[in-house]
């Protein structure tokens, strides 16, 4: 960690994932990374994008 | 500048990828600061690059060995994740002083890893040229047999390669890059490299103090 702080000129502060991040991770787990469709064919659940957009309205480039 | 540091316990490959993407989306939406996440993998997993065909690995054998399979959101070759600490960085590409191109960002992050390795007594170097590549003709499906201008080299071996980000991740001036720090576990020289680097990996674990599953939710 010290190496990164020094080289990148940043300071790390311990944190946690936010509730929105946790919720998004659950959606991504169910609709993408935890599925055979993603593993074999790179297909995601049809409603995943909408659900993520609802969580993060400003991010529309996925 | 303050960055959020998240230390995750060991998780499955699918959960690790899901959390990385969730972090990116939250940051791109302006909800979170630049974030550095440390994590490991349990069970061991082979991660495939975004565009790789799934049949580059033998799935039944992986299953037999208790090795998960997951597809990353980023490109590159297959990687076996075991005995390693992985980091994910989510940050605005404009923070990189050498420009926000993919390779410039890789090299910027690699400098942090290089400094950290120095503290462990390991003299790693970056290739002089951003565009230098050393690619052997065989085993191209494996990420770590390739050396690019942003990979660290120790004794001529590619040791820590930033994984190539998905183009979709370079959105809204946000760049994500991930770099895996792992033992070399490739068929040609697995045992020797694993043994050679194991003490270093243990030191690294001590250095970063990864929590146990019971200590944190993620």
Least confident interval from B90-94, B105-109, B123-127, B164-168: B164-168
A30 within 8 A of B21, measured Cβ to Cβ: no
Q: Which residue has the higher pLDDT, A52 or B166?
A: A52
CA-based nearest residue in chain B for residue A33: B14
pLDDT digits (tens, 9 = 90+) for A15-48: 999 999 999 999 999 999 999 999 999 999 999 9
Residue A41: cis peptide before it, omega within 30 degrees of 0: no
Residue B79, CB half-sphere, CA atoms under 13 Å: how many? 33
Q: Within an 8 Å CB–CB cutoff, is residue B62 touching chain A?
A: no
Query: Exposed (0-12), middle (13-18) or buried (19+): which is B121, by Cβ within 10 Å?
Result: exposed
Residue that wins the pLDDT comparison between A61 and B196: A61
pLDDT above 70 as % of chain B:
57
**pLDDT band with cut points at 50, 70 and 90 for residue B99:** confident
What ipTM, to 2 d.p.? 0.93
> Chain centroid to CA B215: how far?
23
CB-based contacts of A50: which residues, under 8 Å, 6+ apart? none
H helices present in A1-62, as ranges: 2-8, 19-28, 36-41, 48-55
More confident residue, B198 or B56: B56
CA nearest neighbour of B57 among B71, B74, B43: B71
CA distances from B204 to A1, B6, B34, B110, B149 (A): 10, 16, 23, 16, 24
| CA nearest to A15, candidates B216, B11, B82, B16 | B216
Instruction: Determine the 3-state secondary structure of B31 from DSSP.
Output: coil
Distance CA B118, CA B137 (A): 31
Indicate whether B207 pLDDT > 50. no
pLDDT of residue A61: 45
Angle B145-B159-B191 from CA coordinates, rounded to 5° = 75
Q: Is B96 a catalytic residue?
A: no
| Torsions phi, psi for B79 (to 5 deg) | -135, 135
The reported pLDDT for the residue numbered B156 is 53
- Return mean pLDDT, chain B: 66
Q: Is the pLDDT of residue B194 over 50?
A: no
- Binning pLDDT at 50, 70 and 90, where does residue B149 land? low
**Pick among A13, A28, A38 to test the B interface (most B CBs inside 10 A):** A28
pLDDT band at A12 (very low <50, low <70, confident <90, very high): very high
- pTM of the prediction? 0.74
A43 in Cβ contact with B54 (< 8 Å): no
- Encode pLDDT of B70-93 as tens digits: 998 877 778 888 777 788 888 887
Phi, psi (rounded to 5 degrees) for B195: -65, -40
pLDDT of residue A22: 98
A59:B171 CB<8 A: yes
| Average pLDDT along chain A | 90
Distance of alpha carbon A60 from alpha carbon B136, whole angstroms: 39
A5 contacts in chain B (CB < 8 Å): 112
- pLDDT tens for B159-183 read 444 443 332 222 222 333 344 433 3
């Amino acid at each position: 960690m010290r190496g990164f702080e020094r080289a990148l000129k940043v300071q790390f502060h311990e944190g946690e994932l936010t509730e929105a991040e946790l919720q998004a991770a659950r959606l991504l787990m169910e609709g993408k990374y935890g599925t055979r469709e993603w593993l074999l064919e790179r297909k995601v659940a049809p409603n995943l994008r909408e659900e993520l957009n609802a969580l993060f309205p400003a991010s529309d480039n996925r | 500048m303050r960055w959020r540091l998240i230390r995750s316990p060991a998780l499955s490959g699918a959960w690790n990828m899901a959390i990385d993407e969730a972090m990116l989306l939250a940051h791109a939406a302006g909800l979170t600061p630049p974030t550095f996440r440390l994590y490991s993998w349990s069970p061991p997993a082979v991660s495939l690059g975004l565009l790789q065909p799934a049949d580059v690995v033998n799935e039944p054998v992986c299953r037999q060995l208790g090795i998960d399979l997951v597809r990353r959101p980023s490109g590159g070759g297959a990687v076996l994740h075991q005995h390693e600490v992985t980091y994910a960085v989510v940050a605005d590409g404009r923070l990189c002083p050498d420009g926000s191109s993919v390779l410039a960002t890789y090299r910027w992050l690699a400098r942090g890893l290089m400094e950290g390795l120095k503290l462990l007594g390991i003299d790693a170097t970056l290739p002089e040229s951003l565009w230098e590549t050393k690619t052997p003709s065989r085993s191209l499906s494996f990420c770590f047999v390739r050396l690019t201008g942003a990979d660290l080299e120790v004794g001529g071996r590619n040791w820590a390669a930033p994984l190539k980000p998905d183009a979709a991740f370079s959105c809204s001036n946000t760049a994500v890059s991930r770099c895996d720090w792992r033992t070399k576990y490739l068929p040609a020289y697995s045992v020797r490299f694993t043994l050679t680097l194991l003490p270093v990996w243990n030191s690294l674990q001590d250095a970063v103090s990864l929590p146990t599953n019971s200590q944190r939710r993620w």
